[in-house]
Amino acid sequence: MMNLPPEIIKTLKRFIAEDVRSGDLTTEITIPADKMAIATIYAREKAVLAGIEEVAAIAEFSGLTYEILAFEGNWVNPQDPVMRLKGKARTLLTIERVCLNIIQRMSGIATKTYKMVSAAREVNPRVKVACTRKTTPGFRYFEKRAVVIGGGDPHRYALDDMVLIKNNHVTAAGSVHAAVSAAREAVSFSKKISCEARTLQDVQAAIGAGADIILLDNFKPKDVGGVIEVLEHEGLRKKVILEVSGGINEENIREYARNAIDVISSGALTHSYNAANFNIRLSLN
């Protein structure tokens, strides 16, 4: 069923079940069971399209046929048709809201991601723009897939993807050096170790203990530049991946990207986006 993992198909079915509960009361008392119809999904504003695979999967397990009219990752304009569903009118009306919710939210994230990636790469063509785990519980897969569609990096999906030592880990471990050293000793070579740093001293300690990635958290752009200068002077810059995060948005991402940084991560990609506007128009066969 499309290219979605089986557990995601189950999630989509759960979304529909949550909305329907014991039945679509309005549709069942107003629409004859044998009435057939066509539902066309239209964009109502300019956006980067995402969520088509999810709607196609819903159509398949709901007994509908579909035609994809626009491709994910492309810009669509107001009044552009993006997908057409065909089948029982009752079914089309029952799944309508969930399909729109998914497309609107995923397209909103893809659009925001595209804009931030484009802005960053205007001044730093090689920089990666990544999301974080600041996602909606139950909707993480879809939000991170939308980031990828928009040209961003999904970062780690869950806690077991990599070691990411944050400020509270450092506090519990006693120091940056202690936390990174413990991770270096225990973790497989196949897992990268990232360490959050709040000061230049944290950066130096993390590199000294063997961190692969340094996460400069809540640094101002000029301070990021200062850290890079020191690391270059000490011959340490090429030993690590440098990532910045904390309060980064469409307005200031260029300032961060102008530094020779490797990764810019932003929670705003998945928690501060505007859902794109789409609608569904029903017509009879």
What is the DSSP-derived secondary structure letter of residue 67?
Answer: E
Q: Which of 149, 111, 95, 108 is nearest to 280 (CA)?
A: 95
What is the rounded end-to-end Cα distance, in angstroms, of the chain?
A: 26
Q: Report phi then psi at 260, rounded to 5.
A: -80, 65
Strand ranges in the chain using DSSP code E only, listed in sequence order:
36-43, 47-48, 65-68, 75-76, 81-88, 128-130, 163-165, 193-197, 213-217, 241-245, 263-265, 278-284
Active site residue 35: no
Annotated catalytic residue: which of 86, 134, 192, 220?
134
Give how far Cα 157 sits from Cα of 10, 64, 119, 269, 274, Å: 19, 32, 24, 14, 22
DSSP string, 105-151: HHHHHHHHHHHHHHHHHHH-TT-EEE--S---TT-HHHHHHHHHHTT
| Side-chain half-sphere CA neighbours of 223 within 13 A | 13
The 10 Å Cβ neighbour count of residue 61 is 13
Please identify every residue annotated as catalytic: 134
